[in-house]
Amino acid sequence: MVHARGVRKHYGKLEVLKGIDLTVERGQVCCLLGPSGSGKSTFLRCINHLEKVDGGRLAVDGHLVGYRRHGNRLHELREQEVAQRRREIGMVFQRFNLFPHMTALENVMEAPVRVSGVGRAEAHKTAQRLLDRVGLGDRAAHYPAHLSGGQQQRVAIARALAMKPKLMLFDEPTSALDPELVGDVLDVMRQLASDGMTMVVVTHEIGFAREVGDTAVFMDEGVVVEAGDPKRVLVQPEQERTRAFLAKVL
Ligand code: ADP
Ligand code: MG
């Protein structure tokens, strides 16, 4: 589902990604860990067409990000085509970014109705089902301001799922939450994983990465330091940098 080979990205003189290799198979959960500034968010943004890759190859579901193949030529995607591809990828951020003037249900209905042209009745039904799925069936009529951070984040997950994505990206989805609200969000993500969703999750929740991750990737300063089975990488890392990081977050 995600195939990165030698992916590079720089902002001016600052090299943020220095040749990232990473593979995420369909139905797998890849947990991305690493110190602040190591390039994790940038990499997610590249996968989601929010940043242009400067070098290497990055493909999502067999499509080179940013390009369309025509015969044996590559053409840069037009804006509309990028939008189309982005619809197939759900993204959940640290901050929930819900529309404050819409109820939970309306937040989840918004993109299917406005972007995909789904009828309101059908969108309503799907949104209610998704809110049930994230444990918020009884909060459908609540506005974000009247929901806890954890509940807002679960609405954000339901909202991303409403577009029927084939890949879900999570960028530190629990980092902004009070500790007692983290578990409910992780439970929803765990359920999503067991339902077979392909996921790339940037997280410092080592327990989650160990239990739910099919692979763990440790990044530092724009390179993959170590990757593999989370039960090895996060328990008996081979690299000193990984060990030092784990000692800090555990
Ligand atoms: P992480 O998510 O691992 O904390 P980021 O991908 O956010 O790391 O950032 C990696 C580096 O790139 C940091 O040094 C950050 O300051 C820099 N950076 C990120 N986005 C931009 C940008 N739009 N312009 C310039 N520098 C950026
Ligand atoms: Mg980040």
Q: What is the CA radius of gyration of the chain?
A: 18
- Pocket of ligand 1, candidates 11, 48, 203: which has the most ligand atoms within 8 Å of its Cβ, to mutate? 11
Strand order in the sheet with 14-24: 14-24, 2-11, 55-60, 63-64
Complex confidence, ipTM: 0.98
The CA-based angle 209-233-156, given to 5 degrees, is 20
Quick one: CA torsion of 36, 95, 211, 215, rounded to 10 degrees?
-50
Which residue's alpha carbon is nearest to atom 14 within ligand 1? Answer: 37
**What's the pLDDT tens digit per position in 88-144?**
999 999 987 899 999 999 999 999 999 999 999 999 999 999 999 999 999 999 999
- What is the number of the ligand closest to the CA of 172? 2
Q: pTM (2 decimals)?
A: 0.96
**Angle, to 10 degrees, between the axis of helix 104-114 and the axis of helix 120-133?**
130
pLDDT for 95 equals 87
Degrees to nearest 5, angle at CA 190 with 189 and 196 = 90
In this structure, how many other beta carbons lie within 10 angstroms of the beta carbon of residue 162? 25
Query: In this structure, which residue's CA is closest to atom 5 in ligand 1?
Result: 39
CA 215–ligand 2 middle distance (angstroms): 19
In the numeric block, the tokens 């629990």 are attached to 174
Residue written as token pair 């901050």: 95
Residues with CB under 6 A from ligand 1: 11, 14, 16, 34, 36-42
CB 26 within 8 A of CB 198: yes
Nearest protein Cα to ligand 1, atom 23: 11
Do 193 and 29 meet the contact criterion of CB atoms below 8 Å apart? yes
pLDDT tens-digit readout, 202-245: 999 999 999 999 999 999 999 999 999 999 999 999 999 999 99
Task: Decide if 154 contacts 134 (C-beta within 8 A).
Answer: yes
